[in-house]
Amino acid sequence: MKIRLFESADECRSAVAMQAIAYMLREPNGAVGLCTGSTTEPIHGMIADIYKKNPFDASGIHTVNADEFLTPKHPDYDGIDITMRPGMYKNLWSVLGIDENHGHMPDCNPADWEAEADKYEKTIRDIGGIGLQILGIGPDAHLGFCLPGTPFGLKSHVEQISKELTEDSIVGGSRKIDPKWGPFYGITMGISTFMKGRQIMPVTVGSHKAEAVQNAILGPVTEAVPASVLQLHPNCVWYMDKAAAEGILGRIDESMIIK
């Protein structure tokens, strides 16, 4: 694993956006793995801004989202889908001209959840796998919806997510989702799916991620710390700002840090 260190969150995100653009220019039919969340969504906006100023043919590019919420099956649920799809469309797909055949995300309300997860894994295989996997990391070092304890060998699957969602974060569009409609589930790429990415680029900014970074990079490789699996990937460069790096600075081998 290598590390790229930045003074600020903004510089860090913008370097990731530049890497994503460089990948798309190099591999015009390639696939970029993306995450939603406060760390990586601004990166989608930065990619879109760079593209608007310097347009190129992105019609062959695939994007693959790490996860998607599943519409609750609770009998009192109001029936409106919870989905991250509109945000992806607005921030990225519509700008780059990525159509529904190339902007991949599991269906949020399929008849058969498990079959949809299997189908997602197959889709990723069919498009030739992910060339560049950009990854947000949860404060407990989770990847996608793969929470601590998720077996490393799992492929795309259904995961209960209520453990990680607070009332504030369960938001579909602008409306609150009542916790009483839980438990909530999502479809997520599995750890083994992430690890098949040919290049992995985790991104962490802010001191609230410092413990996750420290445990994932300096601790043992263990399913209790999902991101620790990245130590085993042959082509992983972790992008972070100094605040996220506060637990590892002075404690890692200096040769891990690349300019």
Per CB under 6 A, contacts with ligand GLP among 157-196 are 164
Who's near 184: CB < 8 A, 6+ residues apart? 69, 70, 72, 82, 160, 161, 162, 165, 170, 177
Calculate the CA dihedral of residues 195, 120, 145, 212 and round it to 10 degrees.
20
CA angle (49, 97, 133) in 5-degree steps: 70
How far apart CA 230 and CA 1 sit, in angstroms, is: 7
Q: Which two tokens stand for residue 6?
A: 């930045």
Q: Does 39 bind ligand GLP (CB under 6 A)?
A: yes
Among 16, 35, 82, 217, binds ligand GLP (CB under 6 A): 35
Q: Least CB distance from residue 94 to ligand GLP, whole Å?
A: 21
Q: Which C-beta is closer to ligand GLP: that of 93 or that of 184?
A: 184
Phi, psi for residue 168 in degrees, rounded to 5 = -65, -35
Q: Give the shortest CB-103-to-ligand GLP separation in angstroms.
A: 16
Contact with ligand GLP (CB under 6 A) among 30, 136, 197, 202: 136
Stretch that binds ligand GLP, among 15-23, 31-39, 219-227, 249-257 (CB under 6 A): 31-39
| Closest residue to ligand GLP, based on beta-carbon distance | 136
Of residues 62 and 209, the one with the C-beta less far from ligand GLP: 209
**Considering only residues 57-76, where is the footprint of ligand GLP by CB under 6 A?**
66-67
CA dihedral (87, 90, 96, 102) in degrees, to 10, reads 50
Tokens of 185: 């589930």
Backbone angles phi, psi at 138, to 5 degrees: -75, 165
**Rg for the chain, CA atoms, rounded:** 18
Residue among 230, 229, 227, 257 at smallest CA distance from 242:
257
144 binds ligand GLP (CB under 6 A): yes
Q: How far apart are CB 75 and ligand GLP at their closest, in Å? A: 26
Tell me which residue of 212, 224, 251, 228 sits closest to 147, measured CA to CA. 224
The residues facing 235 across adjacent strands are: none
Stretch that binds ligand GLP, among 6-14, 30-38, 116-124, 250-258 (CB under 6 A): 30-38
Least separation in angstroms between residue 99's CB and ligand GLP is: 23
131 vs 186, which CB is nearer to ligand GLP? Answer: 186
Q: Residue 138 interacts with ligand GLP (CB under 6 A)?
A: yes
Residues lying near ligand GLP in the complex (CB under 6 A) are found at: 35-40, 66-67, 136, 138, 144-145, 164
